[in-house]
Amino acid sequence: YFVKEIINSDKFTIDEAETFKHIAKVMRHKTGDIVYLVDPSEKLYAATIDEIDSENNNILTSIELVNRPSTEMPVDVTVACSLSKKDKIEWITQKSTELGAKTIIFFDSKYSIMKWKTNVVEKKLARLQEIAKNAAQQSKRRIIPEVIYVNKLADLLKYQAEANLVAYEESAKQGEISRLGQTLNQSPKSVLCAFGPEGGFAPDEIDFLNQNDFVSVGLGPRIMRAETAPMYFLSVLSYKYEL
């Protein structure tokens, strides 16, 4: 469970309503059971339940720091995906979290089949953030990925990483597959890759990104669906840095 900062190193009270509910009501944990807590500094604690206080909706625990290797990728990865239908962006959010993304950005592009009206952005992001939290919990991540929305491609530049890429199927056709390998061999500390919608990026969008330090990369000879390409990318990074 993701909890607020743990200051006292031997006792902690779990008082977040949703976490309380999950531990006490959904999982039906009892006194003496152990649950695992991660605080914002990414430290992992084993928390033994001392008391479930159902009147005040909190759980008193005795905690112990657990020295286990982090489950986070050694590189900060951002996947920036063109906006798509609700079920697809939810799927992208869940699976990107499982595969280790640190930041997930959705953006409007020329051929996006969906646009978000300004008044729905907050609600939609809250839902995606909740999906990311649940997926992070189930994948035993040390952080919850941040989900961001930008309504124009130019705003992606604000989130640039050390290495910035754009997945472009034309690059794959032109045999530029190794560019991804070349970039990763430089072991950047952070990588961002942009993915187009089902209809792909418009050529002027690729030009714009290329002019702003985004390197076009192919992801192999097969054209993947818009939601598959980021998963392929995250898997390649995991293979490269973690396996």
How far is CA 77 from each of CA 44, 65, 237, 238, rounded to the nearest angstrom?
22, 27, 9, 10
Q: Which residue is nearest to ligand SAM (CB)?
A: 196
Alpha helix (H) residue ranges in the chain: 17-20, 86-98, 121-138, 169-173, 178-185, 203-211, 228-242
Nearer to ligand SAM, 131 or 166 (CB): 166
* Identity of the residue, 12 or 168, whose beta carbon is nearer to ligand SAM in the bound complex: 168
Q: Least Å distance between CB 107 and ligand SAM?
A: 12
Please check whether residue 165 is in contact with residue 193, taking contact to mean a CB–CB distance below 8 angstroms: yes
Listed in sequence order, the residues at least 6 apart from 57 whose beta carbon sits closer than 8 Å to its beta carbon are 15, 17, 20, 21
In this complex, which beta carbon is closest to ligand SAM, that of residue 65 or of residue 223?
Answer: 223
Where on the chain is the footprint of ligand SAM (CB under 6 A)?
167-169, 172, 195-196, 198-201, 218-220, 222-226, 229
Of 107 and 201, the one with the shorter C-beta distance to ligand SAM is: 201
DSSP reduced 3-state for 87: helix
Quote the least distance from Cβ 150 to ligand SAM, whole Å. Answer: 16
Provide, rounded to whole angstroms, the least separation between the CB of residue 217 and ligand SAM.
7
Query: Smallest distance from the beta carbon of 153 to ligand SAM, in angstroms?
Result: 12
